[in-house]
Amino acid sequence: MANDTSEKTPLLDNEDDSSEYRRSREQVKSLYLKASSQRPGIIGPEDLYCRNTINISASNSNFQDIKEADYIVAIFVVAFDTRTGNIIEWCKPEDSDLEGVEFKAMASGSHTILKDFIYFKKDNLYGLSCFENMPVESELERGARMKSVGILATSYTSLYRHMQFLENQVRHQLETPGRYDQLKAFWEDRKGSLPMSHPGRSLVSPMTEIPRADMRITHPAGCFSQFLKFFGEQIFVLWKYALLRRRILFFSPPPIGVVCYRVYCACCLARHTIPEIPEKPLKPHFYVNIADIDRLETEVSYLACTTEKIFQEKSHLYDVYVDNQNVETHIPSLQDMLRLNDSDRDKYSKLLNQRSEELYSRDIEDDEVADDEQVFITFFTEQNNRIFQTLLDVASTSDRTLTMDHMRSMGLDPIRDRQFVMDLVELHGIDVMLVIDNPCCGV
């Protein structure tokens, strides 16, 4: 879908926040068009886990034919009160445990922008909210009315489908405060969609009851290409840290919505399909704030984003800090990985070539927004499979010696990627000997 905005993507723009948000939202709408064109009656894996499929008729969107499996457990309105700060103005169920959600659904610093959308995690649940800041002639409200409307679900895989509804509803709440009829209708349409009823109204839901094999978020077309363009060759710095399951924190001033997509894209860097290496998906926390500090202190691996600069000073909470395009680490053993080597550049060229070939095969113009998810995930899955399979093959030999030729066959630099490989085999308990220029050391 070529248009005048295709040369500037939401992750790269320096224009005003509203235009950035608008382009990102237009891409979300394209997904509805794609989904609504699919044949009806197709049952996906998630359908086996839910009681029925539901129609998003309460959403007031233009795409009412979309069917989806859904596990929404709460809906809420957050408002900014000039006397008390962020508050939960309204919610269903009324006795939901929404402690802290008022600060997640309205990110710190949101008063500086007009619109945003935010993915976040609450205990074992995932949330999506849409925020808007509307100027008003009211001394009591100090000239601005700010609200967010959001939902909590047991998975983040289909949250995007409700963004249109949430965006419409936050505008409705700003213009006609206190009218919750459409939100109530939405809740009534979905409150029975959990795969089993839970006693009480605790929002901590056992994730084992929900299909999680893929946990794939559906994103605006162009999300992965924007991620690739934004970080360029540095994507292979992030790749190494993700494969080592490090704690990675992205910082950006608001709007934070597009940064939530960076978190998801980074999660995909570590995918593989080698059965001997148990896949431990990186935990996407999405947006976090200072209220999450205690939780983050207990995590050994995660990906998250924040608008709060104070996190940079709390280096015990993260291993890798990404300030927009600047990637840094305070861990001595990880610092050499910040420097790109020739093998990294070769992999980057191969990734771009694969993407170009895919665009050509689909007859997509290079300046059009393309959904690169399959190219992106396939490339990194194959790359990771090659590394793990080589390491396992070497570990099964009598001398267990990993040579420079092995390093090259894995697409790695025999010298510059030595620490990376040492950390990787230690993480997974792979018994090999790494040889560089004759000296060797046990790993």
In angstroms, the CA 424 to CA 402 distance is 13
Please give the structure tokens belonging to residue 224.
């992965």
What integer best gives the mean pLDDT of the chain? Answer: 80
- Percent of all residues in the chain with a pLDDT value above 70, rounded to a whole number: 73
What was the pLDDT predicted at 437? Answer: 57
Please give the backbone phi and psi of residue 374, each rounded to the nearest 5 degrees, phi first: -65, -45
Residues 305, 185 share a domain = no
Q: Is the pLDDT of residue 120 over 90?
A: yes
Q: Which of 154-163, 186-195, 292-301, 331-340 has the lowest mean pLDDT?
A: 186-195
Within a domain: residue 364? yes
Please give the structure tokens belonging to residue 167.
């965006």
What was the pLDDT predicted at 414? Answer: 96
In angstroms, the CA 78 to CA 89 distance is 5
Q: Is the pLDDT of residue 294 over 90?
A: yes
Residues 350, 256 share a domain = yes
In angstroms, the CA 234 to CA 238 distance is 7
Within a domain: residue 16? no
Q: Is the pLDDT of residue 95 over 50?
A: yes
Residues 356, 239 share a domain = yes
- Percent of all residues in the chain with a pLDDT value above 90, rounded to a whole number: 63
Could you tell me the pLDDT band of residue 190, with boundaries at 50, 70 and 90? confident
Residues 375, 249 share a domain = yes
Q: Which of 4-8, 188-192, 291-295, 313-317 has the lowest mean pLDDT?
A: 4-8
CB atoms within 10 A of CB 253: 16
Residues 333, 431 share a domain = yes
Q: Is the pLDDT of residue 36 over 50?
A: no
Residues 181, 227 share a domain = no
Within a domain: residue 328? yes
Q: How many residues does the chain have?
A: 443
Question: Is the Cβ–Cβ distance between 75 and 153 less than 8 Å?
Answer: no
What was the pLDDT predicted at 297? Answer: 97
Q: At which of 190, 211, 236 does a domain end?
A: 190
Mean pLDDT of 304-325: 97
Please state, in angstroms and as integers, the Cα–Cα distance from residue 218 to each residue in 31, 99, 160, 382, following that order.
Answer: 9, 27, 7, 22
- pTM comes to 0.78
Per residue, the 3-state secondary structure of the chain, as one string, reads: CCCCCCCCCCCCCCCCHHHHHHHHHHHHHHHHHHHHCCCCCCCCHHHHHCCCCEECHHHCCCCCCCEECCCEEEEEEEEEECCCEEEEEEEECCCCCCCCHHHHCCCCCHHHCCEEEEEEEECCEEEEEEEEEEECCCCCCCCEEEEEEEEEECCCCCHHHHHHHHHHHHHHHHHCCCCCHHHHHHHHHHCCCCCCCCCCCCCCCCHHHCCCCCCCCCCCCCHHHHHHHHHHHHHHHHHHHHHCCCEEEEECCCCCHHHHHHHHHHHHHHCCCCCCCCCCCCCEEEECCHHHHHHHHCCCCEEEEECCHHHHHCHHHCCEEEECCEEEECCHHHHHHHCCCHHHHHHHHHHHHHHHHHHHHCCCCCCCCCCCHHHHHHHHHHHHHHHHHHHHHHHCCCCCEECHHHHHHCCCCCCCCHHHHHHHHHHHCCCCEEECCCCEEEC
Residues 415, 283 share a domain = yes
**118 DSSP β-pair partners:** 129
Mean pLDDT of 179-204: 67
Residue type, 387: I
Within a domain: residue 428? yes
In angstroms, the CA 183 to CA 397 distance is 62
Q: Is the pLDDT of residue 218 over 50?
A: no
Hunting for tokens 């990771």 — which residue is that? Answer: 384
In angstroms, the CA 401 to CA 43 distance is 49
CA 315 to chain centre: 22
Residue 143 structural domain: 72-190
Residues 242, 117 share a domain = no
At residue 379's C-alpha, the angle toward residues 422 and 345, to 5°, is 65
Residues 297, 421 share a domain = yes
In angstroms, the CA 119 to CA 263 distance is 10
Tens digits of per-residue pLDDT, 346-400? Answer: 999 999 999 888 877 776 554 444 457 888 999 999 999 999 999 999 999 999 9
Within a domain: residue 375? yes
What was the pLDDT predicted at 436? Answer: 62
Pairing of strands 144-153, 125-135: antiparallel
Q: Is the pLDDT of residue 28 over 80?
A: no
Hunting for tokens 């570590």 — which residue is that? Answer: 270
Of 401 and 193, the one with more pLDDT = 401
What was the pLDDT predicted at 333? Answer: 96
What was the pLDDT predicted at 439? Answer: 46
Of 59 and 264, the one with more pLDDT = 264
Please give the structure tokens belonging to residue 217.
């978020």
Q: Is the pLDDT of residue 50 over 80?
A: no
Within a domain: residue 397? yes
What was the pLDDT predicted at 296? Answer: 96
Domain count across the chain: 2
Could you tell me the pLDDT band of residue 31, with boundaries at 50, 70 and 90? very low
Q: Is the pLDDT of residue 61 over 50?
A: no
Within a domain: residue 300? yes
Q: Is the pLDDT of residue 79 over 70?
A: yes
What is the maximum alpha-carbon separation in the chain?
Answer: 79
What was the pLDDT predicted at 137? Answer: 83
Residues 262, 352 share a domain = yes
Q: At which of 146, 169, 190 does a domain end?
A: 190
Within a domain: residue 186? yes
Ramachandran region, residue 441 (left: φ > 0; alpha: ψ -120 to 50; beta: rest):
beta
Residue type, 384: N
In angstroms, the CA 147 to CA 145 distance is 7
What was the pLDDT predicted at 358? Answer: 81
Residues 267, 150 share a domain = no
Hunting for tokens 């939405």 — which residue is that? Answer: 186
Tens digits of per-residue pLDDT, 400-427? Answer: 999 999 999 999 999 999 999 999 999 9
What was the pLDDT predicted at 442? Answer: 45
Hunting for tokens 């002639």 — which residue is that? Answer: 137
In angstroms, the CA 404 to CA 401 distance is 10
Residues 247, 184 share a domain = no
